[in-house]
Every structure is written in structure tokens, then in C-alpha cells.
Structure 1
Amino acid sequence: DDTISRLKVQVGSDPADVMLIIETGDDLPPAIEVDLPVSVNFLLSDNEPVNLIGRSHVVYEVFDRRFRVTAGGFFQVNLEVAHILVEEVLHRLDLRGGETILELFSGVGLLTGFIAPHCDLVVSVESYPPAVTDADENLADLDNVDLVEGPVEQVLDDLDGPFDALVLDPPRAGLSKDALGGVLRLRPPKIIYVSCDPVTLARDCRALVDDGYHLVEVQPLDMFPQTYHVECIATLVL
């Protein structure tokens, strides 16, 4: 159909859990029929999902947790490396119990779900409403997670802390100037920065180092095999 500008195929942990996500240039969903056991969802220009056929989400499993991801939401594309990512973040946090953790760009709760059992409280910030709804369901068994919906820049202005560590996984553009300013105001003693773009990671780490942080290490992960893209985990401390 020539009205379709983008078509995304998303497959959950169960290979039979298949979802098509359609975008058009005019916010009008195309007339569509399917002869396959797939779900079909439509994304408006503001990324609001509209369910057309079947379910509005797929389900991923990472270790012992299930994560519902609604059309338009973000999840790591490589499940094998997602397991490694979780382990590496937990290793670098080195939680002993009793800590208060701030997580920015928390999505549907992938990292939150594994951090929360090892600390006192996780304040989890996400701007995309369907992802917050998913996280609320995905993390329903955890009573020490405070989900906050809103732009990171605005939420940071309202937070006082103190936080023992910050975990963040921003989009490719990295931290905005206001978000960076909010992080520097809170000054958590440890930052675990997950990034899919080494260029913006380097830019933001430079700004953090210039303001007193020490860059301990940057661990690359081959999240996107046979491409030039690379996921990185940077650890910074005061």
C-alpha cells in the first residue's frame, strides 16, 4: 500500500508472538487484512499507538521476568545481549541493600526490574505514557519502585534526592542540556550510563568529567552484530 511510510515487525520471546507496526504520512490507518496470526498496530505521528488487529503489545522474557512492550515502546533488540546488559549494570552498581537509585529513561522497566530487588528504592522516570503503563504491569510484584511519568528534564527539577546512584539509558541523542544540568545538580556519587551512540556518550561524559566526575571505564557490548553500531556502559564516580 503506497500510504504506508514505515512498517516494523516486532517478535517477542515466543516466535509466534509477532506484531506489525504501521506508520503513514497522514495519520490515517490503512485498510488492512491479514491471513497470518499476527497483531497489527498503527502509530500516529505523536507516537500514540492505535490497535487494529490482535494484541497491542508483544512480550519479552529476560531471565525470570516477563516484559510487556506496547507498540511504540522501546526494548533492547538483542535479547541475548540484553541479559548481559542487565548483569553488567548490576555488577557496576554493586548494590549492598538500602540504596536509593534514580533511573532515567527507564522504558518498560527492563533494568528497574532487576535493580529493585537489591536496593531500598528505585525512582524510575519515563516520558512515554504507554511505556509507563507497561512498566506498572511489568513491575507489579515490586513494592519499592516509584514510577514517575514525564519528561526527564522536568522531573529532575522536582527531585531533591539524595540518590546513591543514577542509571540512565537515553535515546541516541543523549542528554539534553537541561537534563545534564539536572543530573549535575543532584550529583549522585555514581552514574551508570548506558548508550547506543558512542559520540553522544563521549560528549556527555566529557561534560560530567568537567564537572568533577571520574570516568572509571567504558564497556562496549555487541548489541548489533555485523554493524558499526555498539552499545556501551560507562561508569562514572565522584
Structure 2
Amino acid sequence: MIARTSTTPNQTTGTGGHAGEEAVVDVGPVAHGGHCVARHEGRVIFVRHGIPGEKVRVRLTDAEDKAKFWRADVVEVLEASPDRVEHFWRPADSGRAWGHGHPPVGGAEFGHIALTRQRSLKSEVLAEQLRRLAGVEHLPSGGAVEAVGEASDGGDGLGWRTRASFSVTPGGKLGMHAHRSGHIVPVREMPLATGAINGLRLWDIDLQGIERVEVAAPGNGSRPLVLLAPAPGTKAKRLSAIAAGLPDDVSVAAFDPTTEDVQQVRGRTWVQESAAGHDYRVTGAGFWQIHRDAPGTLVGTVTEFLQTGGFLHAGAVVADLYAGAGLFTAVLADAVGETGSVLSVEGAPGTSRDARKNLHGAPQVEIVQGRVERILRQKPRNFDALILDPPRAGAGKAVVGQLIAAQPRAIAYVSCDPASFARDVGYFRQAGWDLAELRAFDLYPHTHHLETVALLTPGQ
């Protein structure tokens, strides 16, 4: 039976007719999205903050009568897994948070699991997605998720984020949203972030008039940038007052999350990142890998796959799609030399402008701003290789069709989402392509996310 707690259902923390009620369940297998599958009285419940094999008490958070499945958070562990550890961050500890009457913050949903088990669970998710969506039964290299950055973080999986996003409570305090909720939990630390971000002590600043805060603190130690998304009607004087509470060597800018427009408040509106022997200007909230060791890891893997296969060499013709500020483009330009060519395609205008600045000294690079499928139609070439690093939603069927039509000798696919990646691999396989190489990296410890790099080649 499902028992009702003393808390009022739908209290800022859940939706549906049974939200706020509790049940005891056996936690089943891990699923994509940061939860595990459980069943109760014939109903599927996606449970967060559990570990397969545990018996737990859960609180329903999304529980409409007509819904195909419900969602729940663990509030008490009755039979613990040997892989359960004390959560490193109290606001993200589900049992502790619900004990204080509110949901945990999002972004550290695996923090109660030993790191080795976290990685094995991620490997299971990757294998299941590729098997179900792409028909891949045997993964190259076994599909194990590899640790990254242990030399920097001491093996605890903390302090790796060089970028962080925060919300602001109605009282002007720094906070973070609970998962799938409008509820904002005040925070006074972010253990996954680098010392440079925590050292700003944003939680000590009055942030009234601000709706969102983005922070970028490059791993190379260069000048950090704090982006403030002001609420409607917030005056420039209020932004200057917030900037005055930050160290003098920190840049501050106002930004509009919908238009990506950035306005200087103090210092620069961009940061300087470094990777693989190159420096990169990244304006505002422009995309950059958030793990301090991610750029080098991903660039190294992509170039290794392509060079080992003979697809990347002096004189080669390659393209970097969804190129961002040019992380891969710069390294590709080095590899192909002045006798080769690199087509760099990015959809976001601001990020594409950054790429032009970053690569102005490479005559073999052509930078084009626009949709990938349109640019490939306009600029057909005999590509030796394509590099694909799409957003979380993946490339999609139309883009995959264009990639196949371009007839490259190989494609290196970088993905941060196993579901969209597996779906796209399925499209390639339907067209006769092979998943030739695959490596997976734990670039987001204590979360359910992972990064993959794959080499796809036309079937023989």
C-alpha cells in the first residue's frame, strides 16, 4: 500500500494526485536519466537516489493517476547496497533534504554511490541504449566508462567543474533548482566546481534583481567571468553593486539567456580557455567543455582514432561540425597543414565569431555560420573525415542523412548523451555503416552523465 505522509501533496515539490505519498520498493536496474526502475502495485516508478538491489522508502514527486509511470525520490534506505556512501554534499542528499521538508538540489544525483559503481552503472546504460536503439550487441573496447582527471581531483571526483550555473532565491541568495522543480535550494558551496568558482563566495553577495548566474573560471587560471541574468526592470546600478562585491580580477557582464546578448559591466565579456597547445576566446555563455580535463581528453581521442585509421594527415580534407569556438578545428588545422583544408561549421552566431577570432591565422580553415545540413548541401566536398560534436539532442535523422550523403571516409562522433548517440548510431547502421571504435569517459562524476567518442566508417 502507498502511505500518505504528513506533508501536503503537491507542496512545491511534486505534481500529480499522489505526490507526497510514500511507498516501500525494491530498486531495480539503472535507466538512462539518473534514476533506477522500481515497481509498486503494478506501476513503474522511476526512482532517484537509489542503487540497484536496495530496498528503500520513496516519496512520490510526479504521480498523476493516468500517467504511464511515476517518479520518486528515496527518503529512507532500508537495505543498503555495499556501494552506498555518505553523500559529499548535504543539499543534494535526498534523505536529508526531504527530512527538512524540501527536495534535494539537482546536479549530483549519483553522489551517494561509490565512484567505481557509478562508472559501471553508466557503462550499463550506454550498452543498453546501443543495444536497444542501434542493435549493437558487442561494444568496441567493451564500453567501459573511463575515469578522467584523477591526478587533479585526487580520485574523489570533486572540484572538476570550470563552469557552473546557479539560480537565485526570491530573497536574493545563491541557489540551485531541485530536479524537475521550480523549488530553489540556497547553497553555500558547490563541491563539483573548482576552487576558483567557490572562492568567489557568491553566496555572500546580495543577488536581488538577478534571476540566474553563470560562472566560467578557466582551468588555465586566466580571468574568471561572472554572467548575471537580470530580472526585468533591474537597473545598471544594481549590477555594478554586485560586481563591487567580487574580486577586482573577476570580469562581470549582464546577459540575456534567450538572445545570448552580453553587455559589459566590468572587465571582459569573454574568457580565455586553453587546450592542446592552443588558446581560445569564448564569449559569454558560449559552449566549452566543463570538466577541466575534458578538452584534452576528447581532442586526443578524436585525433588518435582518425590518425590511426589513416583519415587525418597532411593534405587531408576534413570538417568540424557543431564546431563551437574551434576546439577541434585548431587541432585539425595543425594535422592537415597548409596543403589540407578544414571546414568549420557552427550554428550560434556569437560562438562562430569566436571561432573566427581564434583561427584567423589558419588559412586552411574556412569558418561558416549556419545549420550543418544546409552547409553540407552548399559545400559538397570529398571529405576524408568529419568530426561531429552535436548538442545533447544529437544530430538527428536529417543531419545523419546529409553526413552519409557527403561520403566521408570516416566520422568521429563526440556525444554527451547515450540515448541520442545510440539513436544516431542506429541511423548510420541502417545505412550500412559500422561502429568501428568507441571510448566512454566519466567527465561528469557524481552525475548520471557521460561522454562518448566513436569512430564510424562505411561498411565494406
The normalised TM-score by structure 1 is 0.93
- Name the CA distance, whole Å, in 1 between partners of 2:439 and 2:331: 19
- Is 1:191 the equivalent of 2:403? no
For 1:73-88, list aligned pairs within 5 A: 73-88=286-301
CA contact (8 A) 1:62 1:79 kept: no
Considering only aligned residues, what root-mean-square deviation do their CA atoms show, in Å? 1.8
Name the SS of the counterpart of 2:293 in structure 1.
Answer: helix
SS of the residue corresponding to residue 452 of structure 2 reads strand
2:441 to 204, 218, 221: 221
User: What is the identity, as a one-letter code, of the residue corresponding to 2:218?
Assistant: G
Match of 2:373 among 153, 162, 169: 153
Q: Is the contact made by 1:156 and 1:179 (CA closer than 8 Å) also made in structure 2?
A: no
Alpha-carbon offset, residue 8 of structure 1: 1.0
Give the C-alpha shift of residue 29 in structure 1: 6.8
Q: 2: CA distance between counterparts of 1:160 and 1:61?
A: 32
Which residue in 2 is equivalent to 1:110?
Answer: 327
Give the AA of the match of 2:443: M
CA distance in structure 1 between the partners assigned to 2:252 and 2:268 by the alignment: 8
- CA–CA separation in structure 1 for the residues paired with 2:403 and 2:215: 35
State the Cα deviation string for residues 115-167 of structure 1 (Å, max 9, x = none).
Answer: 11111111000111221221112122321101011122321221211111110
Instruction: Determine whether 1:164 maps to 2:384.
Output: yes
Residue 153 of structure 1 contacts residue 178 of structure 1 at CA under 8 Å; is this kept in 2? yes
Instruction: Name the counterpart of 2:450.
Output: 230
Contact 2:316/2:384 (<8 A) preserved: yes
Structure 2 residue matching 1:111: 3-state secondary structure: helix
Moved more, 142-151 or 180-189: 180-189
Structure 1 match to 2:420: 200
Q: Contact 1:81–1:222 at 8 Å: present in 2 too?
A: no
Residue 96 of structure 1 pairs with residue 317 of structure 2: no
* Structure showing greater Rg: 2
Task: State the 1:80 CA deviation.
Answer: 1.6
Q: CA deviation at 1:188?
A: 1.3
Q: Distance in 2 between matches of 1:147 and 1:67?
A: 15
State the distance in 1 between where 2:341 and 2:318 align: 6
Q: 1:41 — aligned with what? A: 253
Correspondence for 2:278 among 44, 60, 65: 65
Distance 1:236 1:14, change over 3 A: closer
User: Which sits farther off after the overlay, 60-69 or 194-203?
Assistant: 60-69
Alignment correspondent of 2:362: 142
Structure 2 unmatched ranges of 5 or more: 1-206
- C-alpha contact (below 8 Å) 2:283/2:350 kept by paired residues: yes
Which position in structure 2 is the counterpart of 1:13? 219
**Displacement of 1:200:** 0.5
Contact 1:48 1:72 in 2 (8 A): no
SS in 1 for 2:212: strand
Offset of 1:177 from its aligned partner? Answer: 3.4
Q: CA deviation at 1:186?
A: 1.1
Q: Output aligned runs, 1:115-130, within 5 Å.
A: 115-119=332-336, 120-130=340-350
Give the whole-Å Cα distance in 1 for the aligned partners of 2:233 and 2:385. Answer: 41
- Tell which deviates more after alignment, 99-108 or 59-68: 59-68
Q: Would the alpha carbon gap of residues 64 and 29 (structure 1) be closer, same or farther in structure 2, given more than 3 Å must change?
A: farther
Structure 1 stretches of 4+ with a deviation exceeding 6 A read none
Shift of 1:26: 4.2
Q: CA deviation at 1:195?
A: 0.5
- Normalised to the residue count of structure 2, the TM-score between the two structures is 0.49
Q: CA deviation at 1:6?
A: 1.6
Any idea what the Cα deviations from partners look like across 1:89-119, whole Å, max 9, x if unmatched? 1111112321100111000011111111111
Q: State yes or no: 1:50 paired with 2:235.
A: no
Equivalent residues, number: 238
2:185 alignment counterpart: none
3-state SS of paired residue (2:327): coil
Q: Do the aligned residues in 2 keep the contact of 1:109 with 1:139 (CA within 8 Å)?
A: yes
Runs of 5+ consecutive residues of structure 1 not aligned to the other structure: none
